[in-house]
Amino acid sequence: MPVYAADADGGVIVDVDGNSMVDLGAGIAVTSVGASAPKVVEAVRESATHFTHTCFMVTPYEGYVRVAEKLNEMTPGDHEKRTVLFNSGAEAVENAVKVARSATGRNAVVVFDHAYHGRTNLTMALTAKAAPYKSGFGPFAPEVYRVPMNYPYREPAPIGGKEAAERAISQIEKQIGADTVAAILIEPIQGEGGFIVPEDGFLPRLSEWARENGVVFIADEVQAGFCRTGEWFSVNHEGVVPDLITLAKGIAGGMPLSAVTGRADLLDAVGPGGLGGTYGGNPVACAAALASIETMEEWDLNGRAKAIESQARKVLEPLAEELDVVGEVRGRGAMLAIELVSDSASKAPHPTAAKEVAAYCLERGVVILTCGTYGNVIRLLPPLTIGEDLLGKALDVLVEGLRSWEHES
Ligand SMILES: Cc1ncc(COP(=O)(O)O)c(C=O)c1O
């Protein structure tokens, strides 16, 4: 976007020319507590006065351990857990796969259509979409197998969640072989792929099959996790307990931090020095994470995510009836999307509409993002601290944008 930020918080970005914009992107689902939340700012300042870095693998420090203990306590399941910290979401995903392979002694990793897991070599292989993420960047890592996702809006015929899981399982068993699979890796709600929420029953059945077959079930909660959907983790909506969870984005109030949290026996299977990195679990980022979690708890940001969902649905859902271009409004909490199509009968994806409506919003001071395998999805990821009035005004602009696009095209 042709905007250089000078200041940001609570759903407002001020650019270097002094223009104010409403932020419905939160830096791609990162600044859930706001972009300069008071506790986070103070924690960063305070932490940096002590030390900015020592390398946790050389001289450990308490902040890292406190974040690890907190994530062990917050993530689903009351089994013994371990956490290891990194910098980015892709790094967390790569390391979760390393843990699964090391613990199972198997190689294959199962991923899904429409998946996005990052831009490093292994995570490009795990990601589904070619352009712009993979084209020209191969060769890719081997032993990655893709199976069908449950994409309710685009299933050829209605299918239940459990049935859709059986479809994927059958492909795994027939084409890969259960006993060669180290891990099933899935975004419980797919992010870049288009905010795809599978039907109830899909995730529980996959995780049950994984358990029965000694396969590590990894939930990639990098985008959908941490308060975003009105629960700490998006798997909580269906009571799924993953073996490993990957986290990043919203966990540290804008500072770069990521984590793999999960079963102690899996993480303990890796030998000393097997996981790590110079910067992983930076002390300032750890202080920011602890302050973010405190802020989320104090301000009940899970509650705010749910309130954002009801406010937005009230305004957006009627559009699916009113406008041909609006195919579906979906999502959970403050992770909401509008899929745009040529018409509701053909459901032909309309990426131009998504691009032009987003541009319309930006011209009127609303920062809004698109996504989707077909590039035809408008996504809403506001900071959870955005005020009701501000969100209301931004939604009005979006509605105007959709209406005028349909009437003028
Ligand atoms: C589900 C998911 N996994 C992994 C990643 C990669 O995270 P990062 O960009 O921090 O490497 C993303 C980023 O959008 C994501 O949405």
On whether both 176 and 267 belong to a single domain, the answer is yes
CB-based contact 340:265 (threshold 8 Å): no
Q: Note if the pTM is more than 0.85.
A: yes
On whether both 201 and 330 belong to a single domain, the answer is no
Our answer on whether the CB atom of 187 is closer than 6 Å to any ligand 1 atom is yes
Cα dist from 165 to 33, 176, 178, 255, whole Å: 34, 16, 14, 36
Cα dist from 64 to 87, 118, 259, 281, 284, whole Å: 13, 24, 11, 6, 10
On whether both 20 and 49 belong to a single domain, the answer is no
Our answer on whether the CB atom of 117 is closer than 6 Å to any ligand 1 atom is yes
SS3 category, 85 = strand
Predicted confidence (pLDDT) per residue in 5-35, tens digit: 999 998 999 999 999 999 999 999 999 999 9
CA of 222 to the centre of ligand 1 (A): 6
As for how many domains the chain has, the answer is: 2
CA of 117 to the centre of ligand 1 (A): 5
| In the block, residue with structure tokens 């190689």 | 107
Peptide bond into 139 cis (omega under 30): yes
CA nearest to 76, candidates 238, 194, 258: 238
Identify the domain boundary among 246, 281, 298.
298
Q: Torsion angle of alpha carbons 298, 301, 304, 305, nearest 10°?
A: -170
User: How many residues does this entry show for the chain?
Assistant: 409
Identify the domain boundary among 298, 313, 336.
298
Q: Tell me, what amino acid is at 328?
A: E
In this predicted structure, what is the pLDDT of residue 199?
98
CB-based contact 233:245 (threshold 8 Å): yes
Predicted confidence (pLDDT) per residue in 59-88, tens digit: 999 999 999 999 999 999 999 999 999 999
On whether both 349 and 207 belong to a single domain, the answer is no
CA of 129 to the centre of ligand 1 (A): 14
CATH code (residue 361):
3.90.1150.10
Cα dist from 198 to 148, 172, 324, whole Å: 11, 18, 24
On whether both 71 and 158 belong to a single domain, the answer is yes
Predicted confidence (pLDDT) per residue in 179-205, tens digit: 999 999 999 999 999 999 999 999 999
Q: Which residues contact 152 (CB under 8 A, 6 or more apart)?
A: 196, 197, 198, 199
Our answer on whether the CB atom of 192 is closer than 6 Å to any ligand 1 atom is yes
Predicted confidence (pLDDT) per residue in 130-153, tens digit: 999 999 999 999 999 999 999 999
Our answer on whether the CB atom of 88 is closer than 6 Å to any ligand 1 atom is yes
On whether both 89 and 23 belong to a single domain, the answer is no
On whether both 277 and 163 belong to a single domain, the answer is yes
CA of 354 to the centre of ligand 1 (A): 22
Q: How many whole angstroms separate alpha carbon 28 and alpha carbon 388?
A: 20
Predicted confidence (pLDDT) per residue in 318-338, tens digit: 999 999 999 999 999 999 999
Q: How many whole angstroms separate alpha carbon 396 and alpha carbon 399?
A: 5
On whether both 201 and 322 belong to a single domain, the answer is no
Our answer on whether the CB atom of 221 is closer than 6 Å to any ligand 1 atom is no
CA of 16 to the centre of ligand 1 (A): 28
Cα dist from 373 to 69, 376, 393, whole Å: 37, 8, 29
On whether both 293 and 306 belong to a single domain, the answer is no
Our answer on whether the CB atom of 95 is closer than 6 Å to any ligand 1 atom is no
CB-based contact 43:288 (threshold 8 Å): yes
On whether both 257 and 348 belong to a single domain, the answer is no
Which range of residues forms the domain containing residue 25? 5-33+300-408
Q: Torsion angle of alpha carbons 185, 68, 57, 254, nearest 10°?
A: 80
